[in-house]
Amino acid sequence: MSTSVRALFQLEGKVALITGGSRGLGLQIAEALGEMGCKIAITARKQSELDAAHQHLQAQGVDVLAVSGNLSQFDGIAGLVDQVLARFGTIDILVNNAGTTWGAPAESYPDDAWHKVMDLNINAVFYLSREIGRRVMIPRGSGKIINVASAAGMRGTAKGVTTIAYNTSKGAAVNFTRALACEWGPHNINVNAICPGYFSSRMADVQIQRMGQGLLDRIPLGRVGNEDDLKGIAVFLASEASRHITGQAILVDGGASVGA
């Protein structure tokens, strides 16, 4: 007998850990999964933003745990997982969303900037996924990992854009998704990536404003992403509705990647 569609999207009682969950795309995903009944753990570096997000999610009726910390300090990753497990007992869904960028020409790109971007955007993703995989998901034989990569990981840059570390790290996140999906598929763990195009956020707004109408002209839907546009894909990839999808990098970019 087939499973009902409602049941396939059911997330009630699941536990999701979302990195960079205090604002922007991470908070949007936390709102979505929380509304669908997930217990939510969010982590971020800035305590004031984390506190505000915690209060915001609680006001929406979400059972939420906020854990402050810098994922670039890799020795704190096991402790983060400890805190989530102590509160909720398990982790069903991992959303690797935390990220950063730095703009500078490749020929003069600072070493410390390169390492900062790589450490958060790809190294921390590996270390946290490994920790949760070996401690929780592999022993249990199930799990969902969602990596927030970027459309920038699927191409080069526009003229005048100097974000080589960001693009490189997001390209790495896309192939990390593919490789991990192959390794952990036998453990019934789905690993997929969301690749947003331009979304209004603190990190992207300066570039969006600089590119102006020229950017919108290259997007078939004629706008950048908003505060709701990742919610549907996040719920889909976190639920059993996507149980036969793994290793995919799904562009959410208003059609910019297929336009002329």
Residues forming the active site: 166
Residue 57: name the closest of 44, 45, 70 by CA: 44
For residue 28, what are the CA distances in angstroms to 20, 57, 182, 233, 248? 11, 10, 28, 11, 21
In angstroms, the CA 166 to CA 121 distance is: 8
Residue 237 burial class via C-beta count within 10 angstroms: exposed 0-12, middle 13-18, buried 19 and up: buried
In angstroms, the CA 149 to CA 172 distance is: 9
Q: What share of the chain is helix, strand, coil (3-state, %, to 5)?
A: 50, 15, 35
- Residue 53, SS3? helix
